[in-house]
Every structure is written in structure tokens, then in C-alpha cells.
Chain A
């Protein structure tokens, strides 16, 4: 059974940093691309970033480019999102998602809430 468990959310001040983690199990982690998708309170889904199976390629939404980095540790089956220079508009539930065929998100974690506020 595929399981994705996010952690690392919390309250952070504007301009601060936060590192999210996503522990994956139930599939061959290194064989699949992964994504982060966020959802601001009461709003829709926004794709944030993605990484190839081998970790050699990363992709970012313009809204986070230059501030967020994404990485993966295949030895620990864990995905990371390093978020720097955080802004109030980054407040959201952050979901990690496994990528299936194409860049379709076939499995999702339950999300972790990041609140950027002073």
C-alpha cells in the first residue's frame, strides 16, 4: 500500500525558513517522480514543485522559484521541500504526491500546514 506522510509544518515568521519532509513507503521510491502541491485555506490546488525519479531534474512554479528547493534521499525514501524567504501568501497545506503516468498525481499524503505569520 502506498503511503506518504508529510511532516515539518508549523508557524513561521515572514522571511523565515521551513523544511518539509515526506516519508514514502509501499512503492519503489527511486523509480517515481514526486511533487509538492499546496492549498491555501479555503482555496484551490496549486502545484509548487516536482522532482524526477533520480532527482536530477527539478521544476518549480514561478511563485516559489528562487526561494524553494526540492530534493530526495532515496536511501531513506524521503522527499524534502526547503522553503526560504517565506511570505504570508505561502500559508497553505502542503501535500506531497507520487507521480504516476505522465505527471499525474496518483497518490497523495494527508498534508502538513505551514502558516507564515508574525
Chain B
């Protein structure tokens, strides 16, 4: 099973800051990596797939990148609605696996 490790567990930021979230795969997943956002009491929402392709309707301030097995989700300028938990998910191998999540909280 491919283990997805997200860091940090919590990111304390201010509105307008740039946030950088990391997700590392225990082995190669190619670019088969997605990012999701989840707000309290809500279902997850797809943000990014293919490591760097924004899903429909996702603002341009969200971007994804990859270097080897290290994936990054960047939020260029945090808006109030961006404070949430973010999960990565690999879909290169069975079983599909999620990272443990990064909570972006207001500082």
C-alpha cells in the first residue's frame, strides 16, 4: 500500500498569506495525485487532479506541483473561505490512499 504523508498537520496563516502544503508518497505515483478541500460538516471538494490540473470552478489561486514523489498544493493569497482541511489522494495503485490531512487555520 502506498502511504501518503502530509505536512504540516496544521498551518496557522493570516488572510492574504501564501500557503504551501506538502504531500509525500512512499513510492512513485507518477502524476496520479489529487487534492481535496473539506470544511467542517461538509463533504470534500475536488481541487486539483493530475497533480496540477485545477478542477472545474476552482480559483486560479490554487495550484499544484510535483517533484518526484513530493507534491505541493499552493494557495497564493488565502481568502476567508480557504481555511479548511486539505487532503491528498493517490490513484496510481490499489488501494487508493489518502494523506492524513493538513488543517489551514486562521492565525
Contacts and interface: CB of A to CB of B under 8 A. Distances in A.
B44 A100 contact: no
B95 A45 contact: no
11 contacts: A45-B36, A45-B44, A45-B98, A59-B94, A61-B95, A100-B46, A101-B50, A107-B46, A108-B43, A108-B45, A110-B42
Given A47-B98, A104-B49, 8 more contacts: A37-B44, A101-B49, A101-B50, A102-B50, A102-B91, A105-B46, A107-B46, A110-B43
B2 to A, nearest CB: 12
B34 interface: yes
Interface residues of B, number: 24
B96 A103 contact: yes
A116 B34 CA distance: 31
Question: Which DSSP category, helix, strand, loop or mixed, fits chain A's interface?
Answer: strand
Contacts of B36: 45, 105
Nearest to A98: B46
B97 interface: yes
Interface of B: 1, 32, 34, 36, 38, 42-46, 49-50, 55, 87, 89, 91, 94-101
Nearest to B38: A45
A101 B33 CA distance: 11
Interface in A91-118: 95, 100-111
